[in-house]
Structure 1
């Protein structure tokens, strides 16, 4: 996606929102089933996961494969961050290096200039 600064900013914000919805939704399902918090948690997770799918369609790029491939890198970094903020996870230098590589991949896939 080569576009305006506004398009890039919109894309980054949508990736962030998608990460919160997908990772948060999966976490809610996990809590509902693995931590025995109940079906209400599972249902809330299912709703969040559905909203993730909706948010992904709002990306400025019309290339489904490109958007979902790039989102994979956002998911990796976001999952580690979720673990830090919510579960007290402490990433090591290899986790951080891997997340940085993934985010570099996102930047190349989504924002590298492409010929027309």
Structure 2
């Protein structure tokens, strides 16, 4: 059950961080306005809060593992929102990162 909660929190954190960064990008680079930037900053702040909800107690471990989630999530976001088509090396790299997440977060420890 804790693994399912942890995975759900990683997904929520990715939506907040990647979505927030995308909103800031849209506001600044695509000149959509400061409302977009403000919404992005709020979403990025929410990401910081969501990360604290992880059942694991070690900040470094959570953030290290989240890096892999961020890599894979960024590719998915690009596909869904921006029409980006990852190549096989993008997919392979994301899978390697997710394997790293599994090892860092969910490997049995004494």
Same fold (TM over 0.5): yes
Q: What's 1:57 paired with?
A: 52
Deviation at 1:19, TM superposition (A): 0.2
Q: What's 1:79 paired with?
A: 74
Q: What's 2:109 paired with?
A: 114
Q: What's 2:26 paired with?
A: 31
Of structures 1 and 2, the one with the larger relative CO (CA 8 A, separation 6+) is 1
2:22 counterpart of 1:22? no
2:98 counterpart of 1:103? yes
Find the aligned partners of 1:104 and 1:41 in 2 and give their Cα distance: 34
For structure 1, the 5+ residue unaligned runs are 1-5
Find the aligned partners of 1:83 and 1:47 in 2 and give their Cα distance: 21
Find the aligned partners of 1:96 and 1:80 in 2 and give their Cα distance: 8
User: CA-atom RMSD, angstroms?
Assistant: 0.2
For structure 2, the 5+ residue unaligned runs are none
> What TM-score comes out, normalization by structure 2 length?
1.00
- The CA deviation string for residues 44-91 of structure 1, in whole angstroms up to 9 with x for no partner, is 000000000000000000100000000000000000000000000000
2:82 counterpart of 1:91? no
* Equivalent pairs, count: 110
